[in-house]
Amino acid sequence: MVEGHVSVRACGFESRSGHFAPTRVAKLVDAQSSEGCAFGRAGSNPVPGTFSRTTPPAPQKTEKTALKCPRRNLEAVNEKFAHLILRVTKKMAKQAGNQVYLATVVSNNSINAQSIIEGLAQVQRPLLISGPCSAESEQQVVGTACEIAKRGAHILRAGIWKPRTRPNGFEGKGAVALEWMVNAREESGLPIATEVANAQHVEACLNAGIDVMWIGARTSVSPFAVQEIADALKGTNVPVFVKNPMHADLSLWLGAIERVRNTVAGPVWAVHRGFSQYGQKEYRNAPMWEIAIGLKMALPELPIICDPSHIAGNRSLLLPVAQKAMDLGMEGLMLETHPNPQDALSDANQQLTPAAFGELIDSLTIRSASVPKISSADLSALRLQMDSIDEQVIELLHTRMDLAREIGLHKWENGMTILQMERWKEVFDTREKWAARAGLSPEFILNFLEQVHKESIRVQNEEMTSKMNRS
């Protein structure tokens, strides 16, 4: 835990974003005369949460040229003053105790959270969240932030703590990278977001002034972990994004969202990142769009963001996944970017350069979820036809299940097992050919038949069990 915020407030020093930053006091002293790098009001510092797209003036040259966006110069007198303030605040915070300190942090964070909430409400679809999979260095984080801000990103994301499937992988830089994120916000004007997996992560993020937090797939799978995070966020209005659990369980995803909603006063968004699957497949994680649709049906007011990076696992597949998400009416996209993706310490294959990120966004077709008045009549007529066909399909399925009951009775009378593998193979082979002739996706037909077959087995088993009980 970083200390020192209580006495900074007492001394009257508070950042423009509402976050206490004793190590940055010197920068705050000359804040009025400095200029931001990316999106803010022209001629002034960018304000987190405004989501402004106003083009800023060109950044002035500074001595620190390694960063994409130069940070402000600090005079020697201000450096000395900052160190003095830091020593005093540490001493006072220690005397005040953690409870007072945390209360101050929560209050301060809530101040800034409100501006982020207002900013989110103003963003026109899609909300764009981008940044590196992992924060690897300050130069990488700050540089990426400035570049994606130029290309329309609304929020900077970066992993600070990285949960890895197996040990000995890169697990992030930890809390030291939080300051990099804060610096990136100062230089780019973008609100900042990172993943939290426990109460300690939440506390560190509140301390640093992180604007948005998300719960990852490996965490949302555990109700205990989600509840711990929700309890740690109690009393704040920090926006929280909840990714779907790793395995396909709509109820588990709903439960994680409900736990956060019951505790946090701020907005809660869902993030669809796909579901784990065994073996080598086209996508890293199966999209299973139907589960995201099921979530939307259960919670119509809940905004859903798509994470094409984790669904695709390969940058060549990002565009079609992102377009599908937009066509399904999802409210935003989370895309990983890196200045040199091939050298990334984690998930190198799925990250884009900031320039490629901009090209992908420009390639998207954003369609309206509302129906234009001029075409509403035609659409209604088409939907009536579809309703009629659906009714016929259901009636046919009912007839098929009646036949399944008769087959189950025949199998019972002749001592046959329910599952007949040769017949099952015959069904799949013939129906796949029929689907091809009809121009239907074989994958769709096979998935459909699997569900029909499961129901047929259930019906046959029910009939055979009933016959046994009667005899």
CATH number of the domain encompassing residue 436: 1.20.59.10
Contact between 187 and 169 under an 8 Å Cβ cutoff? The reply is no
* Residue 341, CA distances (Å) to 109, 136, 334, 335, 356 in order: 33, 12, 16, 13, 11
The DSSP secondary structure of 280-318, one letter per residue, reads --SSSSB--HHHHHHHHHH-TT--EEE-HHHHHSSGGGH
Q: Is residue 112 part of a domain?
A: no
Which tokens is 154 given?
């609304």
Same domain? 389 vs 334 = no
* Residue 283, CA distances (Å) to 278, 315, 360, 455 in order: 11, 11, 18, 28
Same domain? 149 vs 48 = no
Q: Is residue 106 part of a domain?
A: no
Q: Is residue 113 part of a domain?
A: no
Same domain? 130 vs 88 = no
Number of domain units in the chain? 3
CA dist 191 and 470 (Å) reads 68
Same domain? 34 vs 170 = no
CA dist 64 and 354 (Å) reads 22
Would you call 378 exposed, middle or buried from its count of C-beta atoms within 10 A (0-12, 13-18, 19+)?
A: exposed
Q: What residue spans of 14-97 are helical by DSSP H?
A: 25-29, 76-96
Q: What SS3 state is found at 201?
A: helix
Same domain? 180 vs 291 = yes
In terms of pTM, does the model score above 0.85? Answer: no
Contact between 270 and 257 under an 8 Å Cβ cutoff? The reply is yes
Q: Is residue 104 part of a domain?
A: no
> Which pLDDT score is estimated for 292?
93
Q: Is residue 434 part of a domain?
A: yes
**Beta-carbon-side half-sphere exposure of residue 234 (alpha carbons within 13 Å):** 9
As separate numbers, helices (DSSP H) first and strands (DSSP E) second, the chain gives 17, 8
Same domain? 449 vs 403 = yes
Which tokens is 329 given?
């009416």
Contact between 203 and 102 under an 8 Å Cβ cutoff? The reply is yes
Which tokens is 137 given?
């260095």
Among the candidates 63, 98, 133, a domain finishes at: 98
Residue carrying the six token digits 């490996």:
218
Residue carrying the six token digits 């659906």:
390
Spell out where 151-252 has E strands: 155-157, 192-195, 212-215, 240-243
Which tokens is 398 given?
């009912």
Q: Which domain holds residue 68?
A: 5-98
Residue type at 301 in one-letter notation? E
Q: What SS3 state is found at 270?
A: strand
CA dist 304 and 38 (Å) reads 27
Q: Is residue 109 part of a domain?
A: no
Q: Is residue 21 part of a domain?
A: yes
Residues 6+ apart with CB under 8 A from 255: 223, 226
> Which pLDDT score is estimated for 109?
61
Same domain? 314 vs 210 = yes
The DSSP secondary structure of 133-166, one letter per residue, reads SB---HHHHHHHHHHHHHTT-SEEE-BSS---SS
Q: Strand pairing partners for 42?
A: none
Same domain? 152 vs 268 = yes
CATH number of the domain encompassing residue 156: 3.20.20.70
Q: Is residue 87 part of a domain?
A: yes
Contact between 404 and 460 under an 8 Å Cβ cutoff? The reply is yes
Same domain? 248 vs 353 = yes
Which tokens is 289 given?
């769009």
Which tokens is 397 given?
């399925």
> Which pLDDT score is estimated for 172?
80
Among the candidates 307, 330, 363, a domain finishes at: 363
Same domain? 207 vs 335 = yes
Task: Find the helix or strand (DSSP H, E) in which 336 lies.
Answer: strand 332-336
CA dist 161 and 172 (Å) reads 5
Tell me the pLDDT of the chain (471 aa) as tens digits.
333 333 332 333 233 333 333 333 333 333 333 333 333 323 333 344 444 433 444 444 444 434 444 333 334 434 433 443 344 344 444 444 444 434 444 555 665 677 778 887 888 899 999 999 999 999 999 999 999 999 999 999 999 998 877 777 788 899 999 999 999 999 999 999 999 999 999 999 999 999 999 999 999 999 999 999 999 999 899 999 999 999 999 999 999 999 999 999 999 999 999 999 887 778 999 999 989 999 999 999 999 999 999 999 999 999 999 999 999 999 999 999 999 999 999 989 999 999 999 999 999 999 876 656 556 667 777 887 888 888 889 989 999 999 988 888 888 888 888 777 778 778 777 888 888 888 888 888 888 888 988 898 898 888 888 877 776
Same domain? 85 vs 223 = no
Phi and psi at 4, nearest 5°, equal 120, -5
Q: Spell 275-290 as b/e; 16+ CB within 10 A means b.
A: beeeeeeebbbebbbe
Same domain? 31 vs 132 = no
* Residue 224, CA distances (Å) to 97, 200, 255, 256, 382 in order: 28, 14, 11, 10, 47
